[in-house]
Structure 1
Amino acid sequence: MAKQKPKSKGKAKPRNYVRSKNQKSSSWIFWVIGIIAAGIIVVLFAGNFGDKGKDSDQSASIDYKGQPFLGDESADVKVIEFGDYKCPVCKNFNMTFFPEVDKDLIKTGKIKFYFIHYPFINVDSRRSAQFAETVYSELGNDSFWKFHELLYKKQPIDHKYEKQDIFTEDFLVKTLAEATSEKDAAKVKKAFGSSNHDEDVKTDEALVSKLGVDSTPTLFVNGKKFTGSTYGDFKKQVEEAAKGKK
């Protein structure tokens, strides 16, 4: 799936991250384009989430049971992010785009936001996913998201670490202790030694395969892949999905 390069805006931008013919990071590029009178930062991102093929208007049936989420339990619109903790573009997504989604759509009760693991970049991609699943199982939803956010923040900026095994078990335990507590981290470490919850990661990967996801980050809105290129496009798809539920 070819990715179109965005036009230069005069600032350095992250390169595209191609893994293989069928596995790649999405070519999301984020930058600030202006500040309106109220002081709200307007974020625009360029590049595609995927080719706008014949299936782009079709909604898939998805089982959300047992997946970590943020938002109102009763929200009609369900959004999924497919991501890899070693993906630099995913880090950019979570540091730049996600806060806008959280403020505008999650905290206002408009959407229920899920994270699904797609670990393909390196061996520690899978270890991180397994550890995160263990956190979810042992400590619950809130602790999962605290760990999730901090792990992305601690992803090195230098791209040379992308293919290096840096998210060791010790690193993950220490990160969890920072996000929660030493006691919670010790509990998860013990559980991780008994069961790494790889079966839960495989459940996520089965959904990746079913939906034909081949890049990260990739978003789905009520089972429909997001293929737009701006935050406005995303909000519009959410609004359309909400109307479809009425």
Structure 2
Amino acid sequence: MKPDAIERHELSHASSARGGSAARRGAWLAAALLGISACQGAGETPPEEGTGAAGESLGLYSGIPQDGNVLGDPGAPLTLFEFSDLRCSHCRDAALEVLPAIVERHVRPGHVKVVFMNVTFLGPGSVRAARMAAAVGMQDQLWDFVDHYFRLQARERPAAITDDLLLRVLAELPGVDAAQALAQRGSAEVDQQIEAARSEASRLQIRGVPAFFLGRAGEEPRRIRLTSMSPEPISGAIAQLLRATPATP
């Protein structure tokens, strides 16, 4: 990866399975990207980039509360926002190589909750995967879905995101009702989650993913810039903000 690279992306507005005018309201985002290179292009073939974390999930999220796209104690003093596209190879690497350490160090102890902001920069496949992830999130297993999905992507590098592929991921998730997820992926609730991620990415002027923002409740989150696939920049920012958090009387 090349530090300080700046990429340009057009954010997809295809937030409804039925299409329509909302799917055509394209907007260019305008701000500097993270320090690492981001995914680019809108084709159906993901970049051929490797990851050192293609092994099976080790129950990373077991025992941690999930509520839709939120992972962790709802009363945690800090919130980490992860902007990600499920077709992005760099997002995959961040999910498999950076996030596990953040979960174990900060989310599991209750210091931080993480909000998955599922943007769809990279075309119809991104939208298809995002809708399924949000639908599984309605069963409070979005984080498990994303983890299994990225691991499958790392192992097999499928050329396209199809329903068959997504159903294979669902089959690996005990307790998920696949038929219910299929039925709900076109729901208004899923539309709302995808549009909320798109709107917030636009407001924060995000031009590429992965992107991480950290803050306290009620305060504007600040961007954490990564220069490598390491958890240390995020972990260090969390520790610093925790030290600065006033004690509860």
Q: With structure 1 as the length reference, what TM-score do the two structures score?
A: 0.67
Deviation at 1:30, TM superposition (A): 10
1:209 aligns with 202
CA–CA distance in 2 between the matches of 1:17 and 1:123?
23
Q: Which residue of 217, 222, 225 maps to 1:224? A: 222
2:143 aligns with 145
Residue 212 of structure 2 aligns to which amino acid in structure 1? L
* CA distances 1:146-201 after superposition (whole Å, capped 9, x unpaired): 11111111115677x6xx5x2112321231122235x7011211233666822321
* CA distances 1:104-129 after superposition (whole Å, capped 9, x unpaired): 11112221111101111121101111
Residue 77 of structure 1 aligns to which amino acid in structure 2? L
The answer to whether the 8 Å contact 1:80/1:220 transfers is yes
Larger radius of gyration: 1
The answer to whether the 8 Å contact 1:80/1:115 transfers is yes
Q: With structure 2 as the length reference, what TM-score do the two structures score?
A: 0.66
2:109 match: secondary structure = coil
2:120 match: secondary structure = coil
Are 1:27 and 2:37 matched, yes or no?
yes
The answer to whether the 8 Å contact 2:68/2:142 transfers is no
Q: Which residue of 168, 179, 183 maps to 1:190? A: 183
**Structure 1 residues 173 and 232, CA gap change in structure 2 (3 angstroms):** closer
**Structure 1 residues 67 and 209, CA gap change in structure 2 (3 angstroms):** farther
Identity across matched positions, percent: 21
Residue 83 of structure 1 aligns to which amino acid in structure 2? S
**Structure 1 residues 194 and 76, CA gap change in structure 2 (3 angstroms):** closer
Residue 232 of structure 1 aligns to which amino acid in structure 2? E
2:177 match: secondary structure = helix
The answer to whether the 8 Å contact 1:131/1:172 transfers is yes
- What is the CA RMSD across the aligned residues, in angstroms? 3.3
The answer to whether the 8 Å contact 1:79/1:220 transfers is yes
Are 1:172 and 2:172 matched, yes or no?
no
2:113 aligns with 112
2:92 aligns with 91
**Structure 1 residues 94 and 190, CA gap change in structure 2 (3 angstroms):** same
CA–CA distance in 2 between the matches of 1:129 and 1:31?
21
1:55 aligns with none
CA–CA distance in 2 between the matches of 1:76 and 1:215?
27
The answer to whether the 8 Å contact 2:7/2:207 transfers is no
The answer to whether the 8 Å contact 1:69/1:115 transfers is yes
1:58 aligns with none
2:76 aligns with 75
* CA distances 1:41-85 after superposition (whole Å, capped 9, x unpaired): xxxxxxxxxxxxxxxxxxxxxxxxx75122222211110110011
2:132 aligns with 131
